[in-house]
Amino acid sequence: MKTTLDFTGRNIAITGGCSGIGFALAQTLIALGATVYIADIVKNPPAELVDHDRIHITYGCDITKRDACKSFIDSIPGRLDGLVNCAGTSTWEGKIGSDEVYQRTMDINVNGTWNMGTEAMRRMSGQEDVESPGAIPGVVRNVGQGAIVNVGSGASLRGVSGLAAYSASKHAILGLTRSWARDFPKLRVNAVAPGATDTPLAEATVAAAPTGDTNVIIGKAQIASIPKGRMAYATDIADAVVFLLSDWSSFITGQCLPVNGGNF
């Protein structure tokens, strides 16, 4: 029996694929045989991604702009099997956050997911509803027209002191996920809710928080309360995304999978 996840011949789009969770995900999907299309605002992607023949990067792609999302999705040839909305921002806000930070956070996290998700669903909802061989001979899985995974947060499921705009934006991503799953039952649309994850973005958010603040989701006190005793690695989150993109989650849609080392 084949026990590996096989993405050979699958085209997967990832926003924010040049760092953090998106980068780990791109590397994992490549190892599993996928062809990966990355949209990222950065102009200088990591060396690991540049020369790979199954990685295609659209540099400087601003997901807050609908036309940028449309041309990115249009640039992907053949069948679009999956989209992962991974690009996001988080800024330490404090108790009275600034309107600028609120708007920027909503623009990237919510508008960005809305823009790319809408363009991908427009494309995917016209695709064939396919079946794929299962692990048991003679049994097939209906894998539908494609899969979308939105990267939410522990802050999709609870409030976080000092990160109200971020938490609102991540709650909104859950609302999009749940409604899109009902609107497009031949697709699968799910979210992951990572707890504290060791990424450059998390590091920058922690660095900006006042020292000694025990309520920060990614502060030292929070890490001490994670039963597994550490932050997630980006690969821990990427693995959950891979499951939700794969044929192995064929009947799961509209769900949010927390990945938090037991700190739920």
Ligand X SMILES: *[C@@H]1O[C@H](CO)[C@@H](O)[C@H](O)[C@H]1NC(C)=O
Query: Which residues lie near ligand X (CB under 6 A)?
Result: 103, 106-107, 111
Closest approach of Cβ 58 to ligand X, in Å?
21
Rounded distance, CA 243 to CA 253, Å? 12
Pick between residue 108 and residue 147 the one whose CB is nearest to ligand X. Answer: 108
The gap from C-alpha 153 to its chain's centroid, in whole angstroms, comes to 10
Q: Does 102 participate in catalysis according to the annotation?
A: no
**Vertex 237 angle, CA 22 and 44, to 5°:** 20
Could you tell me how many residues make up the chain? 264
Q: Which is nearer to ligand X, 115 or 260 (CB)?
A: 115
Token pair recorded at residue 259 = 């990945």
Q: Which is nearer to ligand X, 63 or 106 (CB)?
A: 106
Q: Which two tokens stand for residue 245?
A: 């993109």
* CA–CA dist 53, 64 (Å, integer): 28
- Of 28 and 64, the one with the shorter C-beta distance to ligand X is 64
CB of 110 to ligand X, least distance (A): 7
Q: Is 122 exposed, middle or buried (0-12, 13-18, 19+ CB in 10 A)?
A: exposed
Output the smallest distance, CB 109 to ligand X, in A: 10
Q: 211 with 244: CB under 8 angstroms?
A: no
* Shortest Å distance, C-beta 108 to ligand X: 9
Is 111 or 260 the residue whose CB approaches ligand X more closely? 111
User: What minimum distance in Å lies between the beta carbon of 64 and ligand X?
Assistant: 7
Of the candidates 59, 102, 166, 233, the residue annotated as catalytic is 166
Distances (CA, A) of 61 to 15, 39, 87, 90, 234: 9, 6, 11, 18, 22
Catalytic residue numbers, as ranges: 166
